[in-house]
Structure formats: C-alpha cells, structure tokens
C-alpha cells in the first residue's frame, strides 16, 4: 500500500490515500500521538479516517430527501445501519503532495459508481499539513 509520509521538525504524519484517505499515524520524535495503523487492509485500524458524505449511522439505511425515499445497503458486515458513507471505503486521489502538505480528493458520481451506495454526487477535498508548531487545521 502506498503511504505518503509528511514531516516537519520532530513531527511525522503518514497518509494512506488508497485506504479511505486515512491517516496511518502521527508521531513526535517517534512517539505515537495517534494510534498507529496496524498495516492491515482495514481502514478501521488506522489512526483516523474521513467520514463522508455523512458521519455515524443512518437508521436502517432509510431516509427521505426532496420527497423521495432512499434505501442504502449495509456497508459494514451484517450491521443493520450503514456507517459513515462511502469515503472510508474508497481510494482517494492525490491531488498534490510535498514533504509537509498533502491534498487528497474523493469524487462520487452515483451514475457511474453505484447510486445504491449514495444517491447524490459529491466531491470532497482533504488537506493535511505539518509545520514547526504541529498539525494545523484548515
């Protein structure tokens, strides 16, 4: 699996675009600040991962929007409620990456990628970066 490694000073951040755009770990002088990824193909074993297009669960996979009712399939084994959308289960594209910054993108088109998983098109960008002070948020 292709891991991108960012570093700045004593900090190191590992990013896994192929594994749901997840973070494999954040370390300061080798000390894990986030739970390190265990090198398995299970995104849920990473340090963290993006929850898009929704977080948490959709009860029974059923919801209404704009006068239409939608039924989502299970996406986590036999768990009755779909979890976290499709972002954690798809490979993200690397838009740009340097030694200190990384820009990932995930696009979803229900017409070409299976509208049964999520019925609405979306595009999301994820930016991660390191500087001398830490792991700034954008």
Q: pLDDT at position 31, please? A: 96
pLDDT at 134 over 90: no
8, 38 contact by CB (below 8 A): no
pTM of the shown model: 0.91
Measured over the CA atoms of residue 92, residue 98, residue 100 and residue 101, the dihedral's sign is negative
Gyration radius (Cα) of the chain, Å: 17
Q: What is the pLDDT of residues 75-96, one digit of tens each?
A: 988 889 999 999 999 999 999 9
Tell me the average pLDDT across 84-109: 96
108, 92 contact by CB (below 8 A): no
- Please give the helix or strand (H or E) that residue 112 lies within, else none: helix 110-113
């Amino acid at each position: 699996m292709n891991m991108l490694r960012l570093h700045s000073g004593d900090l190191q951040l590992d990013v896994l675009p192929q594994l749901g755009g997840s973070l494999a770990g954040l370390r300061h002088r080798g000390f894990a600040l986030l739970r390190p990824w265990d090198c398995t193909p299970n995104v849920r074993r990473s340090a963290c991962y993006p929850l898009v297009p929704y977080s948490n669960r959709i009860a029974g996979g059923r919801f209404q929007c704009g006068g239409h009712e939608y039924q989502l399939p299970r996406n986590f084994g036999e768990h009755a409620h779909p979890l976290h959308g499709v972002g954690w289960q798809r490979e993200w594209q690397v838009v740009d990456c340097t030694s200190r910054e990384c820009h990932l993108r995930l696009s979803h088109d229900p017409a070409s990628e299976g509208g049964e998983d999520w019925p609405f098109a979306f595009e999301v960008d994820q930016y991660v970066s390191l500087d001398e002070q830490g792991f700034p948020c954008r």
